[in-house]
Structure 1
Amino acid sequence: MSKSTELDSLQTVFWLQQTDKLNTFAKMWYHVFLWALFSSIFVHTVAGLIAFLTLRKHKFGKFFPIAILLMGVVTPVMSGIISSAAIACVYRYSSLPMQPLYALFWGVGQTVLSACIGFTRILATL
């Protein structure tokens, strides 16, 4: 593989050590996807811990954190692949290089948007 098509390590992505702009579709998609995935895992881990602490004595409720953690991985993998690809496509076809910090904003923004949609859906069903 040439240097321009290699994907960065997780440490490079999360510590924002990438000094040059992301200029290929694969790099843009990879950075945005990783930020969306791991920010979602972080949010769902916190939610799972809170659910476990509040429902630990409930007969069936103590198993809900497992579902919360599972959805924290499955949802961004399924929807994050597509939405991160769409964001990377817009940047690539516009010939705009992406700053690594913008990838962070796009990835975490997907998690925030997903959380907002999740909260409004629950309230609409009550």
Structure 2
Amino acid sequence: MTRGEFTPSDLDSVLNVIGLSPPDPLDTFGEMWYQVFLWALFSSMLFHIIAALIAFCRLRKHTIGRWMPVAILVMGVLSPLTGGVVTSAVIAGVFRASDFVMMPFYALVWGLGQTIVVMFISFTRILATL
């Protein structure tokens, strides 16, 4: 197999999440944690990339403000790498300890949920400072 080549198992895991094939439940703590963490990381990066593009378009002529998109991108990666790791482990630990079955779609929902909660908290703190 050469670099960059997909295997059938890679495609199968993508199809499991979007519901086009029968779901294969996530059994171990590591599988659950990894899937929830990846969804939290990628959804956070997506939202922060969009925010950074908007900030860059609006602040490109500002002398100091033009560097804000860099800070936004750094927070889009740093936040899931710190808090996202811990909260994903807690979610996976609860699922594993209670013997609940985690389907790949549940991991997607938990990962997106983490990003939405972080965004909500961020926006409410900004409004409190005004």
Equivalent residue, structure 2, for 1:90? 94
When residues 70 and 15 of structure 1 are mapped into structure 2, their CA distance, relative to the original with a 3 A threshold, is: farther
Instruction: Give the counterpart letter for 1:12 in structure 2.
Output: S
Provide TM-score, normalisation by structure 2.
Answer: 0.85
Structure-to-structure mapping, 1:1-126, within 5 angstroms? 12=13, 16=17, 19-126=23-130
- 1:57-80: CA deviation from partner (whole Å, max 9, x where unpaired): 111111100000000000011000
TM-superposed deviation, 1:47: 0.1
Task: Give me the CA root mean square deviation.
Answer: 2.0
Q: Distance in 1 between matches of 2:75 and 2:62?
A: 21
Q: Alignment partner of 2:102: what SS?
A: coil
Q: Distance in 2 between matches of 1:62 and 1:39?
A: 24
Q: Which runs of 5+ in 1 are unaligned?
A: 1-7
TM-superposed deviation, 1:12: 3.0
1:18–1:100 CA contact under 8 A, matched in 2: no
Equivalent pairs: percent with the same residue? 54
Provide TM-score, normalisation by structure 1.
Answer: 0.87
The count of aligned residue pairs is 119
1:13–1:31 CA contact under 8 A, matched in 2: no
2:16–2:24 CA contact under 8 A, matched in 1: no
Q: Which runs of 5+ in 2 are unaligned?
A: 1-8
Instruction: Give the counterpart letter for 1:93 in structure 2.
Output: A
